[in-house]
A = this chain, B = another copy of it.
Amino acid sequence: MSFNDLISGALTSTGKVRNEPVQARSSERIGALLDAASAVVAEVGIERLTTAMVAERAGASIGTVYRYFPDRIAVLGAMSLRGFERFLRASVDLLESTKPTTMDAAFGCLIDAAVQMHRTEPGFTSIRLSDQIALPEVDGGTAASARVAGPLAEIFAAEFDIADDGTLADRLDIALTMVDALLVRAFIIDPQGDEDAIAACRAVVTAYL
């Protein structure tokens, strides 16, 4: 599941793109615009991000920004969505390489992946994963979380026996919500990630399982 797969569908207002890109350079443009948005968010915060800053940093013009995104908020939404998608990819990679045998270890992978994102992806701490989790369906499209968290659910379902799929999806959802909230807290306390707070996050998830 690639980033383009994600943004080319009918998404909610946060994350929408105006036109599906056809030529290859367009995808690169979108990527560059989102990179620029991340950098700007990391520098000045979400509120003070302007579309002009994004355009300039991406080496594009204002018009180009608005070719791909209906408005300023959609840029932030797409950035947020991409961050979430990257986090999921990192999680899947980690799960597949370490092959945890306990639920606890599996969630440990998710936390490691999230911590890594906070440390390496500019602006990741400023966006709310919850904007992508538990999002109601819009105009007939599946909720972003369902489409995007699918790979995780599959891994967990294959590795661990859970009574039914709904329960598993819910528990994943709840766990991700907690991890996100607690890690954001950890990275607000300390920009490098407060170790005690991260440990507390692990403890909470362990207790929950």
Taking the complex as formed, is A185 at the interface, i.e. its CB lies under 8 A from any CB of chain B? yes
Q: How far is the CA of A164 from the CA of B203 in the complex (A)?
A: 19
Q: Which residue of chain B has its CB nearest to the CB of A190?
A: B136
Whether A133 is near chain B, meaning CB under 8 Å from some CB there, is yes
Task: Verify A170–B135 contact, CB threshold 8 A.
Answer: no
Query: Are the CB atoms of A170 and B200 closer together than 8 Å?
Result: yes
Instruction: Scan A153-189; emit 1 where CB is below 8 A from any B CB, else 0.
Output: 0000000000000000010011001101110110011
Please, which residues of chain B bring their CB within 8 A of the CB of A48? 73
Q: Distance (Å) between the CB of A201 and the closest chain B CB?
A: 8
Count copies of this chain in the complex: 2
Interface of chain A, helix or strand or loop or mixed? Answer: helix
**Residues B181 and A204 in contact, CB atoms below 8 Å apart:** no
Q: Which residues of chain B are within 8 angstroms of A130 by Cβ–Cβ distance? A: 181, 184-185, 188
Min Cβ gap A16→B in Å is: 14
Report which A residues bind B (CB closer than 8 A).
47-48, 73, 128, 130, 133-136, 170, 173-174, 177-178, 180-182, 184-185, 188-189, 196-197, 200, 203-204, 207-208
